[in-house]
Amino acid sequence: MANDETPISFEPFFGGFVLETLTIGMYGEARNAIREYIQNGFDSVQRAIDELGILPAGNGLIEIELAEDRNGLTIRDNGAGLSARNAAAVLTRVGASSKRHHKNAGFRGIGRLAGIVFSDRVTFTTKANGEREQSTVIFNARSMREAMAPSKGSNKSALELMKESVVAFRSPNPSVKTHFFEVKLEGFTEAPDECTSARSMYDFVSQVAPVPYPEDFPYLVELRQAAKKSGIPIEEVRIIIKNGTGQPRPVTKRYGAEYEFDSGTIALNDCAIYQSPKDQWWGWVGKKSESGAYTDPRVSGLRVRVRNIQIDGTEIIRDVFRDHAKSYLRFQDYFVGEIFIKPSALVPNARRDGFEEDGNWKQMRSEFAKIVKELGKEAYQVSKKGQLSVDALKASLTNAKRDLRTLRKANFENTDRVITLSKKVTTAQTRVAKALLGASLETAAELQAIASSLTDIKHEALAHVGNAAATIDREKIQQETRDDFLQEVLVLLEDSLSPNCYSDAYESLMQEYGDE
């Protein structure tokens, strides 16, 4: 410091908006508060097992109980708990934690505030093994929200706001060997459905929490072998949901033997295991014999997990599909599966809807992209095989006949519907032509009959709309056929050419035949 410079003392001021940002502003969906409390309970259970040895492996338990009046919720674990000596200090820290991201599910010291968003009162009660006292810390969440309103959020410091809204005390608990941590949310205001419906709670927890697979999941052995080989285990904890009236219900993942599908239900016929080239992750992908999307959002898509806790929903891998090709975007829902990431490999972001954008994540995304490319091609092949089957083509013919009958009743007055039918028939005719290649004599006879019927339907439909409509129909069909063919050519070229050659070919084709 130069001789003519005079130091100025100052005290940083953190206004109430800081707390508002870390609570109301942090979580895009209020229900993610449940996930935060579950992952904190999971950490506590694992500490009791691995570090303290006070809980046998497999005996960890998290209980979630909905109040009978649906205006409250309690989440309790039998983990290590916090000692009376430092419980209050730990529970009133904000953005500070002794946990480490490579070891713990929660590590930023923010999640405990999540329930403030929709509860009037948040109460933490905890006890450590070997002590005769338990500690209670109560947040007056309602007054905190009011004080953090835009008109008041900067009037008080975050420290003043915490001191006014939080009370802490100890009380006797003679059960020396008892150890637990409990959070109770009371007085809901616009609470998420998961807090008031046991069914919604189960659906959410079964997706995001580190719960076991159900017994009827047919590929458990393969998954356990893959986890052992990779050194990245599938960590689990028992979670039970109590709805205040019925019997407690253990939570498992939703993966099973059969799944909801466009045409009803379908079973997996294979489970592919993928391994990271650098031992940073492993994953499984369920395969099916029919093309199409799973219709149950609780299982559809490939999901990313760290310590078996879901990061975001299905958007992380959906983005990888999108980055590869817009036409691949839909394929995320054509598969079910999970990717387990080594905790030390990536750092989940504060909202836990993705990862910190560092070099490791960029490298891992490129590895996922190779899987996405493979799955996309597989989906195309399964789709094409299904579309060219005799049964599928017969179904197309049946639908065309039905549409034709509808047009007849209306005297073919709706030209747009006639054109739409003609376009569908042309697509079916193209598929019949492809299916005829290499077909047996018996199958070829069936296909020829289908093709003949389709031609009759198209002639009858177009005969009623005149030359103008036929011309419009023909132009649309030519455009659609060209686009489909161009997409197939590009997929084949990408698989056989070097990146530079493919890029040149892509540019030339799009300039000559593309829409733009």
Q: Tell me: the pLDDT tens digits for 146-187?
A: 877 766 555 677 777 888 889 999 999 999 999 999 999 999
Task: DSSP for 192-243, please give it.
Answer: -GGGT-HHHHHHHHHHHS-PPPPTT-TTHHHHHHHHHHHT------EEEEE-
Please indicate, yes or no, if residue 70 is contained in any of the structural domains.
Answer: yes
Q: Are residues 360 and 400 in the same domain?
A: no
Question: Given a cut of 90, is residue 341 above it in pLDDT?
Answer: yes
Question: Given a cut of 60, is residue 10 above it in pLDDT?
Answer: no
Please indicate, yes or no, if residue 137 is contained in any of the structural domains.
Answer: yes
Please indicate, yes or no, if residue 180 is contained in any of the structural domains.
Answer: yes
299: closest CA among 235, 256, 240, 330?
Answer: 256
Among 315-324, 338-347, 497-506, the range of highest mean pLDDT: 338-347
Q: Are residues 158 and 44 in the same domain?
A: yes
Segment (H or E) for 109: none
Q: Are residues 371 and 429 in the same domain?
A: no
* Dist. CA 234–CA 217, nearest whole Å: 15
Category of 355 on φ-ψ map: left (φ > 0), alpha (ψ -120 to 50) or beta: beta
Instruction: Tell me what pLDDT residue 444 has.
Output: 80
Mean pLDDT of 455-483: 64
Structure tokens at 230: 């990779």
Question: Given a cut of 70, is residue 220 above it in pLDDT?
Answer: yes
Please indicate, yes or no, if residue 243 is contained in any of the structural domains.
Answer: no
Question: Given a cut of 90, is residue 37 above it in pLDDT?
Answer: yes
Number of compact structural domains in the chain: 3
Instruction: Tell me what pLDDT residue 467 has.
Output: 45
Please indicate, yes or no, if residue 40 is contained in any of the structural domains.
Answer: yes
Question: Given a cut of 70, is residue 515 above it in pLDDT?
Answer: no
Contact 47, 181 (CB under 8 A): no
Please tell me the least confidently modeled range out of 40-49, 60-69, 381-390.
Answer: 381-390
Question: Given a cut of 50, is residue 101 above it in pLDDT?
Answer: no
Q: Are residues 118 and 44 in the same domain?
A: yes
Q: Are residues 95 and 20 in the same domain?
A: yes
Per the structure, the complete domain to which residue 36 belongs is given by 16-196
Structure tokens at 425: 């028939």
Residue 252 or residue 117, greater confidence:
252
Please indicate, yes or no, if residue 143 is contained in any of the structural domains.
Answer: yes
Residue 266 or residue 308, greater confidence:
308
Contact 294, 288 (CB under 8 A): no
Of 377, 410, 428, which closes a domain? 377
Instruction: Tell me what pLDDT residue 382 has.
Output: 73
Instruction: Tell me what pLDDT residue 186 has.
Output: 95
Instruction: Tell me what pLDDT residue 242 has.
Output: 94
Instruction: Tell me how far apart the 2 most distant CA atoms of the chain are, in Å.
Output: 101
Question: Given a cut of 70, is residue 468 above it in pLDDT?
Answer: no
pLDDT tens-digit readout, 261-281: 876 788 898 999 999 998 999
Give residues with Cβ within 8 angstroms of 503, minimum separation 6.
none
Instruction: Tell me what pLDDT residue 497 has.
Output: 66
Instruction: Tell me what pLDDT residue 106 has.
Output: 44
Amino acid at 76: R
Please indicate, yes or no, if residue 112 is contained in any of the structural domains.
Answer: yes
Among 81-95, 106-120, 151-165, 348-362, the range of highest mean pLDDT: 81-95
* Dist. CA 81–CA 499, nearest whole Å: 55
Please indicate, yes or no, if residue 229 is contained in any of the structural domains.
Answer: no
Q: Are residues 362 and 393 in the same domain?
A: no
If one counts every other C-beta atom within 10 angstroms of the C-beta of residue 248, the result is 11
Q: How confident is the model at residue 188 (pLDDT cuts 50, 70, 90)?
A: very high
Please tell me the least confidently modeled range out of 84-93, 104-113, 224-233, 451-460.
Answer: 104-113
Q: Are residues 476 and 411 in the same domain?
A: yes
Q: Are residues 399 and 479 in the same domain?
A: yes
Q: Are residues 422 and 300 in the same domain?
A: no
Instruction: Tell me what pLDDT residue 342 has.
Output: 94
